[in-house]
Structures are given as structure tokens and as C-alpha cells.
A and B are shown apart, each in its own frame.
Chain A
Amino acid sequence: MKSITTPSVSRRSFIRTSALAGGGILIGFNLFQACKPEVAPPVDIADLNFNDFNAFIKIADNGKVTIFSPNPEIGQGVKTSMPMLIAEELDVDWGNVLVAQGALDTKNFTRQVAGGSQSLRHGWEPLRQTGATARQMLINAAASKWGVDPTTCKTKNGVISNGNGETLGYGDVVKEAASLKVPENVKLKDPKDFTIIGKDINNVDIDKIISGKPLYGMDYKEDGMAYVSVLRPPAFGKKLNDFDATEAKAVNGVIDVFKFGDKIAVLAENTWAAMKGKKIVKAKWMNDSELENTKDHDKVLLDLLNGNDFNTMRADGDVKKAFATADKVLERVYESPFLPHNCMEPMNFFAHVTAENVKLVGPIQTPAGTARRVAELLDRKPEEVSVDMTRMGGGFGRRLYGDFALEAAEISNISKKPVKVVYSREDDMSAGIYRPAIKYKISAAIKDGKLIGYHLKEAAINSNMYGLIPNFFPAGAVENYQVDVAKYDSNITIGAWRAPYTNFLAFAEQSFFDELAEVMEVDNIQLRLDLLQNVKGNNDERIQYSPERLEQVIKTAVEKSEWGMKPEGVYQGFSSYYCHNTHVAEVADVVLENDQPVVKKITCVVDCGIVVNPLGAKNQIEGGVIDGIGHAMYGDFSFKNGEPQDTNFNTYRLIRMNETPIVETHFIENQIAPTGLGEPTLPPAGAAIANAIKAAKGVRLTKQPFVKNMKNETLLG
């Protein structure tokens, strides 16, 4: 089994310093990889160039520290938590730290991506090393000024002291520090000495958010910029035949209307005119490929599950034999719909293509990849393309795909204007890239009261689970274990959606284990714990989760949720899951109001290693759990003749406050390197409430969204 340690950093973070012309020191460094040794940081802050270094720390001569945080912010809090790691080791007062969003380095930076809950996990070591190295440099400068041994010096809150009672502020020695050699192999703090990590730190953008300052891509504007509304094919499988824009061009404020590819761009002086113009473009569409229906997808996916055409992702023992010798078999099918991401900030992007360069600005989870694709699209040199990242009004996976930035670049290239493409909600929900509809069939073979075989089959639209998932629980716990996948190729575009695959797979498996316990006539939690015993000491390197850590979150959840001790009328449901390097257990408390199940509370226990910023971490956890409940309960998205059936919030239902339970969070305290929290609490939530609803109403839900299928079970009016 894989040991849980700090992710390895192949080389020490590369650091260079320079004295700033205006006073102070600038420390340039590269995260996650070394860089060419000859580059030097600028002496003027206005020349900050993220092509040489992807992150900078500026220490002014008044001791103020500015950290240029490199990772995109989509609401997961890394713009706060990543600088906390630097500040901790630099040993400065957080109140003296300013955080600014770094721009993109297209040449040297690999992991400038928000996705997979990996930002903190990868930044843990190099960010702290950078802070510690900078601190040592400042100490060395002070020690040489005093003529003392640096090892006799200490720091606290940005002040260096020596054994003779003398002190110097960081700002007092920045000039000297800038000319010193960068120290190597600097020792990091013992976690017990942390003063910033583990403390509640406010979101660094809080004041701007609550006072309505421009932060997001939607808020970005430049002089002479045209607002663009894009008319796209109304259905998957259709393409543009012909269009007439005479009326659209007559709308006050519309500047131009033109075709690009199978889409039509409406450029205007303001957003309203662009949207209005788009609505009255008379477009004729023609069929290009099959116009697909959800009804047909359902059949095709079930056929795949019942067929024999699978790719095997993992096979232990002999599943076939296990099922042949079983004295009991449990088999269940679980079904999920497509889901749109529905970031509150609709997709948008700014582009200005000129003869000299291509300027892109907007909310994007993958700036480097998007810059590369734009360069290819416009046949430009990669170094001519720049991307400035704005704060993102949600991502959930949707902003991994730069399709909207490519549209903006293409439109600016044609119109020779600075443009901002703005999606309406209808555009956002119907332009494509969804969580694919997926169905699972899970079978268990039981012999002499023991689970001897486990067979998971996946049938999905367009894309199957990634390679790590077959090594999640219960891999390693069942002697005969197999994971098979199959897919149906569709023209409907799909992509990552918060906790890809596991967002539904966890529901399927954790519902299945509860039902399995019933069939085996054992306690549902004891069944999970017993299976985990089988994994302990298993030296299979492929297994991703830690049985010890999963066991601990399960036991803690039992205790904290008062499992089985609740008064009559409170029905509980259990679920535990590992994904994105984090172990989670959740218990749902459900009551019946007018005979309808209402989720009142979720107890959530999380082992994410060291909790860097508990205030931010709890926010992610609460949001993940409620998001998981909301989509399991209400998320429904279907197609008729290739056309999405819901395009706005009047029919597409997202969870609202009056439907929201209270989430109570408990962390497992340990000294293990931190893992991310943007995703891992979402997947277990669906099964926790489904298992509680089973306890309350005796009905087992196997299809999402529950609200639709509870209606079918006459559970809801």
C-alpha cells in the first residue's frame, strides 16, 4: 500500500533576489520545479515578469510583505491558504501581508491549474521552503550587520533579534539581504511552532467581495471594448446553415454581427444590446449528426451494463468463480443524469488580438493550456499570448475548458477589436461540457456469511473513470474484485464536474454497502470496518486510501453524530469515502415533516492532514456537503433531439437555503502533509441522505435526482 507522506519535491525551489529600485527586496521563485539559473528578478516592481519566475515575494523597507500568489482562485481559498504557507516560514505578522494574484507564466510553470483539489498538496513543501529561505537570508543580513553568528539570531513577527538584545526589522535589512547568496537546505519549522498555519484566516479578498469591487471576469472592461453575445447551435448534432442579421444589426448599440465557424457573434456597445441582438438573429440550422435523447441514452447505457463489452481496469482473484460458488448474490443498478456546472458567474472572457500580441483576461482554471490553444488557433507564437486571471465566480470543473476564451480570441481576431464574450445563463447551460450521465452495476458474492466477490461495472457517456478510482475502497478488501468500464460515444460534450466520477460513484457504492449489510445481516458500519481490516498490511502499491485513516474517520463520525443514540423520529444514514487524497465520513440526520423526509443535519468528519486554514477549510466542507446533497436531490438535466431541456433556474433546480441542513465539521488532528478540500466532501453526501431516507421511509433510492424518483415512489407529493 502507498505510504502517506509529503509529496516529494524533486529539487529545491529555485530562488533569486534583487534589490528594488524603489526600496525593498524582491524574491523570485518557482514553484514545483526549478528554473534556469541565469534569470534575475527585476529591480522595478512594474517590470514583474512571470516568464522568469512564477511567484514573487516583495518585502518593502517598511517591513510590509506582498505575496504574488500564483494559483487561480475559484472559491476554494488557495489565494489565502497558499500565501499562509509562505508567511508561516517567513515568520511575519499576517496583518503585514498583502496578497496579489500572480499572472501567467506560459514557459516555466506547469501546475498553475485549479483542479483535483491539489493546489495545497503540491504547494505544501515548496511554498514553506521559499518562506524559510527568505527568512534565513534576512537573518544572515542582520547577523553580518551585527557581526554575530546567524545561528544566535531569532525571528518573530518580522523582527530579527540577536543574543545581545538588539533587534532589526525585516525592512531594515532587505537591501543587504538582496546582495547575499541564497542559502540552501534551510530547515523548516516544527509543526508545533506554527503561528499562522492552523489559525482562522479571513479570505484575503473579503473586503472587495462585500463592497462590490471589480474582481471577476464579468467585471473586466477596457476602453473601446465590444460586448459579445454568441449564438450557438441550439442542439448537439446541428450546425449553421444560413442566417439573416438585418434586424439584429438595427438594434441600438449593435456594432456588428458575423459568423465564425458554426456560431454567430453579435458585437455591441453594451451587454444588453448584444443579448437583444442575438435573440433576433434569424438563423437556420441543419442536422449534422444524430440528435440524441436521454431516453435512448438510458437504454444504451443499461444495454452496455448488461453486455460483455468492457475494459477491465482492475481484477483481483477470480470474480467469475466467486460468483459461481456464492450462496447469495446482491446486484444493484444506480443511475445518474447529465449535470451542468452552473457557476454563478456565467462563462466569459476578454480578448484583444493585435499584430503584436494576444491579450486574454478572464476566469480560467487552466491558463497555460488555454494560452497554448489560443496560440495554435490563431497561429501565433506562444510567447505572444498572455493570460491574466481574474477571480472566478465558481469553477466546479467548467473553467478547466477554455472554449469561451477561444471564442473571444477568434472574435477579436476577426473584428480587430478588444472584445468580451459574455454568456447568458441560457448560453451557459446549453453550450455544452457537462458531467456525463453514468450508470453503475454493482454485484456482490456472499458465501458462508462472507463477502467473497465484488464486481463494479460502469457505463458512461463518452468517458470512463480515471485510472486511480479502481484502487479506492473496497479495492484490496475483497479477494475477488473487478472493475469494468464501457462507454457510449455521443456528440454531447462532457467534462470534469466537481469530484469527477466519484461524485456519483460514492453514492452508488455507499448505498450498496448499506444494502449489502442488510442482506448479510450484519451491522452496516461494522461491515465497512471489517473490510478495512483486510486491507491493513496489504502491500499493494496501487491502493490509494489508508485503511487506518478511513477507519478513524468512520469511528469518529459514529461518535460525533451520536450514531444510533438519537431520539425516536430522527433517522440516520451513514457514508464514508476516500478521494482526492482525503478521507471523509458523513452521517445524515433526517426527520419526517408531513411524512416527507427533511435533512436536518450532516455530521462530517474529515482527515485532510494538517488543516492550514480551518476557517476556509470548514467553508469548503460545508459547501461540498450541501452541493452534494443539492445535486443528489434535485440535479436533473436531459436532452430531447439533442437539445438541453433546461436552460435557466426557473426549471433547473439548485438547492436553496430553506432546503439546507446544518453541517457540523470535525477534523482528525494529525501532522500529515495537507490534502485538498475543494472536492472530497461532496461524493459521500448523496449516500448519507439516501441511507437516512431508507431508514425513515423504507425506500431505497438508486437513481438521482432523488426528488424525481421519490415522486415515483410516492414519497413526495
Chain B
Amino acid sequence: MPVYNLKVNGQSLSVEADEDTPLLWVLRDHFDLVGTKFGCGIGQCGACTVHADGVATRSCLLKVSVATEMKITTIEGLSKDISHPVQQAWKEIDVPQCGYCQAGQIMTAAAFLEQNPNPNREEIRDAMSGNICRCASYNRIEKAVEQAASKIS
């Protein structure tokens, strides 16, 4: 099996894996970075969202062989001490119910606010609509993104 060198959360990590292995499973099974979640495997639910060169990306669709060229950030690397404004807002609003989808929601929100630090409500609702929350904590996600935006801008 080929060996791939990856840049994850500022660290250089290498893995022996088939070239078609999605980054998701490399993170979870090989690197023990289990914060990135498996939800659907086809890029529909957003639970596996990571940043690839700063862009919110579905890690279930990103092959490890392609990811070698990118700087990958996972929920574990978003901040060292839960200090990212999006994480802070998530805590203040007490967003999660079961919590399973929330890492993906946070990663989507963080990348979105990098691009658009002053979003209006409709922009937030559109930007977050790719991430499913089965517990339907959507009202709080919306509020938390608004709150994070107000702190960033």
C-alpha cells in the first residue's frame, strides 16, 4: 500500500492506505482524530466537514491521495483551548443536543465566517443548510453563528 504524508492541524502525519481511502477514515481510524464524524458517506449531511486549505470540505469525499497537497484542519485543530469564537458561541448558546453533528456544523460555520464575517440572517441560513442536525438544534446553530459573527467582525 502507498504511504501518504499529510499536514493535519499543523502536524506532519503519514499513513499507509489505499489511494481511494477517504480522508475521513484516515483521520478517524489511523490518526485517532475522531472528532470528525461519519454521517452519510456521500457528502449530503456535513458531519465530516473539515477545512482543506481553509475551505469547508466533506472529508468523506476527499481521497487521501488528493489531500496530501492540502493543509487540513479538523475540529481538534480549530483551537487549542476551545477559544475559537465559533466554539465559544456554541458554548454560550448551549447548542448541542446529541452533539454528533456539531463538529461539522462548527467547521462549516468557521469557514463561512472567514469568507463572510458580516453575514445577514439569510446568508447564515443558506451557508448552514448543507449540514443536517437530526435533533433539529437549528435555531441555536443560527443564533450561535450570529453571535460568533458579532465577535469576529
Contact = CB atoms under 8 A, between A and B. Distances in A.
Q: Do A and B bind each other?
A: yes
Interface of A: 74-77, 200, 202-203, 205-207, 209-216, 218-219, 221, 227, 252-253, 270-273, 275-276, 342-346, 391-396, 422, 424-425, 615-616, 619-620, 622-627, 630, 648-650, 654-660, 662-663
Contact of B37 (A270, A344, A620): A344
Given A212-B34, A212-B36, A657-B125, A662 B139 contact: yes
Given A227-B29, A649-B44, A657-B125, A272 B139 contact: no
Interface string B116-130: 000000000110111
Given A211-B76, A393-B99, A218 B37 contact: yes
A615 B92 CA distance: 11
B134 A626 contact: no
A200 B93 CA distance: 11
B102 to A, nearest CB: 5
A623 B45 CA distance: 17
A663 B138 CA distance: 10
A344 B39 contact: yes
Given A619-B94, A619-B97, A648-B40, A212 B141 contact: no
B7 interface: no
Nearest to A214: B34
B127 to A, nearest CB: 9
B71 interface: no
Residue among A272, A424, A627 with the most chain B CB within 10 A?
Answer: A272
Nearest to B87: A210
A622 B135 CA distance: 9
Contacts of A344: 37, 39, 45, 47, 98, 100-101, 132-135
Interface string B71-101: 0001110110010000100110010111111
A658 B135 contact: no
B11 interface: no
Contacts of B139: 622, 626, 660, 662-663
A131 B122 CA distance: 47
B134 A205 contact: no
B97 A76 contact: yes
A345 B100 contact: yes
22 contacts: A206-B91, A211-B75, A211-B79, A212-B103, A214-B34, A216-B37, A218-B38, A219-B34, A272-B22, A272-B29, A276-B20, A343-B134, A344-B101, A344-B135, A345-B98, A424-B41, A624-B136, A626-B136, A655-B136, A657-B129, A660-B125, A660-B136
B137 interface: yes
A646 to B, nearest CB: 12
A396 B96 CA distance: 16
Residue among B129, B130, B133 with the most chain A CB within 10 A?
Answer: B133
B44 A650 contact: yes
B126 A649 contact: no
Contact of A203 (B18, B25, B28, B96): B96
Contact of A616 (B30, B45, B76, B94): B94
Contacts of A622: 136-140
Contacts of B101: 344, 393
Given A344-B132, A425-B41, A657 B142 contact: yes
A394 B136 contact: no
Contacts of A657: 125, 128-129, 131, 133, 138, 141-142
A574 to B, nearest CB: 21
B106 to A, nearest CB: 6
A58 to B, nearest CB: 25
Given A344-B45, A619-B137, A211 B82 contact: yes
B25 A272 contact: yes
Contacts of A219: 28, 34
Interface in B6-41: 17-18, 20-22, 25, 28-30, 32-41
A630 B132 CA distance: 12
Nearest to B18: A252
A215 B99 contact: yes
Given A213-B35, A252-B18, A202 B134 contact: no
B70 interface: no
Contact of B99 (A205, A620, A660, A663): A205
Nearest to A75: B98
Given A227-B29, A346-B38, A657-B129, A210 B102 contact: yes
A131 to B, nearest CB: 23
Residue among A75, A76, A624, A657 with the most chain B CB within 10 A?
Answer: A657
B42 interface: yes
Contacts of A206: 90-91, 94, 96
